[in-house]
Homo-oligomer: A and B are copies of this chain.
Amino acid sequence: MSEPLLEQLIEALRVLPGVGPKSAQRMAYHVLERERDGGRQLAAALSAAVERVGHCARCRDFSEADTCATCASGARDAHLLCAVESPADRLAIEQATGYRGLYFVLQGRLSPLDGIGPRELGLDRLSARLAEGGVQELIIATNPTVEGEATAHYLAQLARQHGVRPSRLAHGLPLGGELEYVDRGTLSHAFGSRAEMP
A: which residues have CB within 8 A of B?
A: 1-6, 8-9, 11-13, 15-18, 23, 25-33, 35-36, 38-53, 62-64, 68-70, 86-88, 91, 94, 107
B50 near A4 with CB under 8 A, answer no
* Distance in angstroms between the alpha carbons of A186 and B137 in the assembled complex: 65
A15 touches B33 (CB 8 A): no
Is there an interface contact between B88 and A25, defined as CB atoms closer than 8 Å?
yes
Q: How far is the CA of A192 from the CA of B125 in the complex (A)?
A: 75
Residues of chain B with a CB closer than 8 A to A13's CB: 16, 42, 45
Are A5 and B48 touching (Cβ within 8 A)? yes
* Chain B residues positioned under 8 Å from A15 (CB to CB): 31, 35, 38-39, 41-42
Copies of this chain present: 2
Known interface pairs A3-B69, A39-B49, A47-B43. Does A29 touch B86 (Cβ–Cβ under 8 Å)? yes
Q: Is the CB of A32 within 8 A of B6?
A: no
How far, in angstroms, from A3 to B62 measured CA to CA in the complex?
Answer: 8
Query: Is there contact, CB below 8 Å, between B45 and A8?
Result: yes
A92 → chain B closest CB, angstroms: 10
CA of A18 to CA of B15, assembled, Å? 16
* Inter-subunit contact A29/B87 (CB<8 Å): yes
Q: Which residue of B lies closest to A63 (CB)?
A: B3
Question: A192 to chain B: closest CB distance in Å?
Answer: 33
> With the chains together, A50 CA to B44 CA distance in Å?
12
In the bound complex, CA of A45 to CA of B8 (Å)? 6
